[in-house]
């Protein structure tokens, strides 16, 4: 497709269940980001990939959160033993690598996955 | 660390009127990018306008324009001739030119457009 695709759009998980959220970035985009957006808040950075390399995972809230992008395209965010505080919208974004001086820094977002932990 | 502040949780504007959304940021970097994103109920973040810090001229995209005051670290969004379809959450964002993964968002402003 032409845009960033995320699946599923909605996920309800029982507390303690493991979940996996998928992101298909725009073809050719080197950079991929995951954000967590709590209700009524702005997105908070979770992790960043450049191709298959996870260069920054400083935003992951706990070791229950794990992300991968093994072939430098599709990425999966996995949350183990979900807790109620994990309920949020998880946004994925991708962008071309910043090539200065003709920098293209726009990040294109998917529609997110709304995770509800009950 | 860079921070982005949107001091207006909610704003309201009459259709066809003009509204300005405020954003301030804090950084010690000299080169960066600033963005306004729109998030409708569909949740997809849509880029509205972008400003490079090294450009003095304010960015303009049709009915959307910014007032970029680098010294004051202020980046407000003006929406002219507001339309019902402009109703959404608006997020101001900062992205470092030195650290590609460093993109920070404000808490957002919910814009209501009254017919």
pLDDT of residue A38: 93
- B43 to A103: CB separation less than 8 angstroms, yes or no: no
* Chain A touched by B32 (CB under 8 Å): no
> Mutate which of B6, B25, B32, B44 to disrupt the A interface (most A C-beta within 10 Å)?
B44
For B14, the enclosing helix (H) or strand (E) is strand B10-14
Residue B103 Cα, gap to closest chain A Cα (Å): 7
* Chain B touched by A53 (CB under 8 Å): no
> Which residues of chain B have a CB within 8 Å of the CB of A114?
43
* Chain B touched by A109 (CB under 8 Å): yes
- A42 to B100: CB separation less than 8 angstroms, yes or no: no
Per-residue model confidence as pLDDT tens digits over B3-50: 999 999 999 999 999 999 999 999 998 889 999 999 998 888 999 999
- B44 to A111: CB separation less than 8 angstroms, yes or no: yes
Per-residue model confidence as pLDDT tens digits over A52-63: 999 989 999 999
* Top-confidence residue, A106 or B45: B45
pLDDT of residue B38: 96
Per-residue model confidence as pLDDT tens digits over B60-84: 999 999 999 999 999 999 999 999 9
């Amino acid at each position: 497709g032409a845009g960033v695709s995320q699946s599923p759009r909605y996920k309800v998980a029982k507390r303690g269940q493991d979940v996996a959220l998928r992101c298909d970035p725009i073809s050719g985009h080197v950079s991929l980001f995951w954000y967590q957006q709590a209700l009524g808040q702005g997105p908070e950075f979770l992790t960043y990939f450049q191709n298959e390399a996870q260069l920054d995972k400083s935003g992951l809230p706990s070791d229950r959160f794990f992300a991968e992008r093994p072939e430098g395209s599709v990425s999966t965010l996995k949350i183990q033993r979900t807790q109620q505080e994990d309920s949020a919208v998880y946004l994925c974004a991708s962008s071309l690598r910043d090539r200065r001086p003709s920098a293209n820094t726009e990040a294109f977002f998917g529609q997110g996955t709304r995770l509800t932990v009950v | 660390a860079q921070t982005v502040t949107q001091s207006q949780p909610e704003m309201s504007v009459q259709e066809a009127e003009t509204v300005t959304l405020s954003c301030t940021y804090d950084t010690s970097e000299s080169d960066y990018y600033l963005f306004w994103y729109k998030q409708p109920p569909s949740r997809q973040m849509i880029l509205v306008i972008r400003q490079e810090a090294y450009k003095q001229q304010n960015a303009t995209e049709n009915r959307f324009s910014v007032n970029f005051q680098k010294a004051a670290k202020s980046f407000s969004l003006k929406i002219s001739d507001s339309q019902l379809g402009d109703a959404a959450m608006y997020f101001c964002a900062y992205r470092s030119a030195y650290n590609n993964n460093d993109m920070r968002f404000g808490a957002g402003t919910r814009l209501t457009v009254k017919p």
